[in-house]
Amino acid sequence: MLDFARRRDEDDEADMTPLIDVVFILLLFFIIAAAFAVRGLDVELPPAQSSQAMSGRVLELRLFADGTFRFDGVPVSRKDVRGRLQDIVRGFKDRPGQLVLKAAPDAPVEALVFLVDEVRLQGGEKLLIATAPPDSARNQGGR
Protein backbone atom coordinates (compact mmCIF):
# COMPACT_ATOMS: atom_id res chain seq x y z
CA MET A 1 0.00 0.00 0.00
CA LEU A 2 1.18 3.52 -0.72
CA ASP A 3 1.98 5.84 2.16
CA PHE A 4 0.31 9.21 1.47
CA ALA A 5 1.03 10.65 4.87
CA ARG A 6 3.01 13.87 4.67
CA ARG A 7 6.36 13.73 6.28
CA ARG A 8 7.56 16.75 8.20
CA ASP A 9 10.90 18.05 7.06
CA GLU A 10 12.96 20.53 8.97
CA ASP A 11 12.79 22.75 5.88
CA ASP A 12 9.02 23.44 6.04
CA GLU A 13 9.52 27.12 7.01
CA ALA A 14 8.45 29.88 4.61
CA ASP A 15 11.16 31.14 2.27
CA MET A 16 11.80 34.84 3.01
CA THR A 17 13.99 35.50 -0.04
CA PRO A 18 11.17 36.60 -2.41
CA LEU A 19 9.73 38.89 0.26
CA ILE A 20 13.11 40.53 0.86
CA ASP A 21 13.57 40.94 -2.93
CA VAL A 22 10.23 42.72 -3.22
CA VAL A 23 11.04 45.02 -0.30
CA PHE A 24 14.39 46.00 -1.84
CA ILE A 25 12.79 46.65 -5.23
CA LEU A 26 10.17 48.90 -3.61
CA LEU A 27 12.87 50.71 -1.65
CA LEU A 28 14.86 51.28 -4.84
CA PHE A 29 11.75 52.55 -6.64
CA PHE A 30 10.98 55.12 -3.92
CA ILE A 31 14.59 56.31 -3.73
CA ILE A 32 14.69 56.90 -7.48
CA ALA A 33 11.25 58.54 -7.46
CA ALA A 34 12.33 60.89 -4.67
CA ALA A 35 15.33 61.98 -6.73
CA PHE A 36 12.97 63.30 -9.40
CA ALA A 37 10.70 65.13 -6.98
CA VAL A 38 10.26 68.78 -7.84
CA ARG A 39 11.83 71.14 -5.38
CA GLY A 40 12.45 74.83 -5.56
CA LEU A 41 11.30 78.27 -4.62
CA ASP A 42 8.20 80.10 -5.70
CA VAL A 43 8.78 82.59 -8.49
CA GLU A 44 5.97 84.85 -9.54
CA LEU A 45 5.74 84.28 -13.30
CA PRO A 46 4.16 86.71 -15.74
CA PRO A 47 0.97 85.42 -17.38
CA ALA A 48 0.62 84.59 -21.10
CA GLN A 49 -2.44 83.80 -23.20
CA SER A 50 -0.62 81.13 -25.24
CA SER A 51 0.87 79.13 -22.35
CA GLN A 52 0.62 75.32 -22.47
CA ALA A 53 1.27 72.53 -19.99
CA MET A 54 4.51 70.53 -20.40
CA SER A 55 5.35 66.89 -19.93
CA GLY A 56 8.49 64.77 -20.00
CA ARG A 57 11.91 65.44 -18.50
CA VAL A 58 12.20 69.10 -17.57
CA LEU A 59 15.23 70.95 -16.23
CA GLU A 60 14.43 74.33 -14.67
CA LEU A 61 16.66 77.36 -15.08
CA ARG A 62 15.50 79.98 -12.59
CA LEU A 63 16.36 83.65 -12.73
CA PHE A 64 15.51 85.68 -9.64
CA ALA A 65 14.84 89.39 -9.21
CA ASP A 66 18.33 89.96 -7.82
CA GLY A 67 19.94 88.42 -10.96
CA THR A 68 20.96 85.11 -9.34
CA PHE A 69 20.53 81.74 -11.04
CA ARG A 70 19.46 78.27 -9.91
CA PHE A 71 19.59 75.25 -12.18
CA ASP A 72 17.25 72.51 -10.93
CA GLY A 73 17.27 74.04 -7.46
CA VAL A 74 21.08 74.31 -7.22
CA PRO A 75 22.54 77.84 -6.99
CA VAL A 76 24.90 78.61 -9.88
CA SER A 77 27.23 81.60 -9.97
CA ARG A 78 27.43 83.69 -13.13
CA LYS A 79 30.96 82.46 -13.91
CA ASP A 80 29.85 78.79 -13.63
CA VAL A 81 26.81 79.13 -15.91
CA ARG A 82 28.66 78.16 -19.10
CA GLY A 83 30.23 75.00 -17.67
CA ARG A 84 26.98 73.89 -16.05
CA LEU A 85 25.04 74.44 -19.29
CA GLN A 86 27.64 72.41 -21.23
CA ASP A 87 27.05 69.49 -18.87
CA ILE A 88 23.28 69.84 -19.15
CA VAL A 89 23.23 69.99 -22.95
CA ARG A 90 25.63 67.02 -23.16
CA GLY A 91 23.29 65.08 -20.86
CA PHE A 92 20.34 65.85 -23.13
CA LYS A 93 22.10 64.07 -26.02
CA ASP A 94 21.93 60.81 -24.05
CA ARG A 95 18.52 61.43 -22.52
CA PRO A 96 16.44 64.14 -24.23
CA GLY A 97 14.63 66.74 -22.15
CA GLN A 98 13.48 70.34 -22.12
CA LEU A 99 15.14 73.43 -20.69
CA VAL A 100 12.59 75.70 -19.05
CA LEU A 101 13.45 79.22 -18.00
CA LYS A 102 11.47 80.55 -15.05
CA ALA A 103 12.31 84.22 -14.66
CA ALA A 104 10.83 86.55 -12.09
CA PRO A 105 8.91 89.42 -13.74
CA ASP A 106 11.25 91.97 -12.17
CA ALA A 107 14.46 90.09 -13.04
CA PRO A 108 17.12 92.18 -14.78
CA VAL A 109 16.83 92.01 -18.56
CA GLU A 110 20.62 91.87 -18.85
CA ALA A 111 20.72 88.62 -16.82
CA LEU A 112 17.88 87.19 -18.93
CA VAL A 113 19.70 87.97 -22.18
CA PHE A 114 22.94 86.55 -20.73
CA LEU A 115 21.26 83.26 -19.82
CA VAL A 116 19.44 82.88 -23.15
CA ASP A 117 22.68 83.67 -25.02
CA GLU A 118 24.63 81.08 -23.01
CA VAL A 119 22.01 78.40 -23.69
CA ARG A 120 22.24 79.09 -27.43
CA LEU A 121 26.06 79.14 -27.38
CA GLN A 122 26.12 75.72 -25.69
CA GLY A 123 23.84 74.19 -28.31
CA GLY A 124 20.58 74.20 -26.38
CA GLU A 125 18.11 73.68 -29.21
CA LYS A 126 14.97 74.72 -27.36
CA LEU A 127 14.60 76.99 -24.40
CA LEU A 128 11.03 77.22 -23.17
CA ILE A 129 10.00 80.20 -21.07
CA ALA A 130 7.60 79.39 -18.26
CA THR A 131 4.61 81.66 -17.70
CA ALA A 132 1.65 81.67 -15.39
CA PRO A 133 -1.69 80.57 -16.83
CA PRO A 134 -3.89 83.49 -17.96
CA ASP A 135 -6.35 82.83 -15.09
CA SER A 136 -3.73 83.65 -12.47
CA ALA A 137 -3.32 87.18 -13.90
CA ARG A 138 -6.94 87.91 -13.08
CA ASN A 139 -6.63 86.32 -9.64
CA GLN A 140 -3.54 88.40 -8.81
CA GLY A 141 -5.18 91.65 -9.73
CA GLY A 142 -3.79 91.89 -13.27
CA ARG A 143 -0.09 91.48 -12.42
pLDDT at 61: 86
Q: Does residue 79 lie in a domain region?
A: yes
pLDDT at 22: 94
pLDDT at 25: 94
Q: Does residue 69 lie in a domain region?
A: yes
Q: Which residue range(s) make up the domain with 76?
A: 58-134
Q: Does residue 66 lie in a domain region?
A: yes
Q: What percent of the chain stands above pLDDT 90? A: 7
Q: Model's pTM, two decimal places? A: 0.53
Query: How many domains does the chain divide into?
Result: 1
Counting as low any pLDDT under 50, the low residues of the chain are: 40-41, 136-143
Q: Does residue 31 lie in a domain region?
A: no
**CATH number of the domain where residue 75 is located:** 3.30.420.270
- The whole-chain average pLDDT of the chain stands at 75
Q: CA-to-CA distance for 132 and 27, rounded, in angstroms?
A: 36
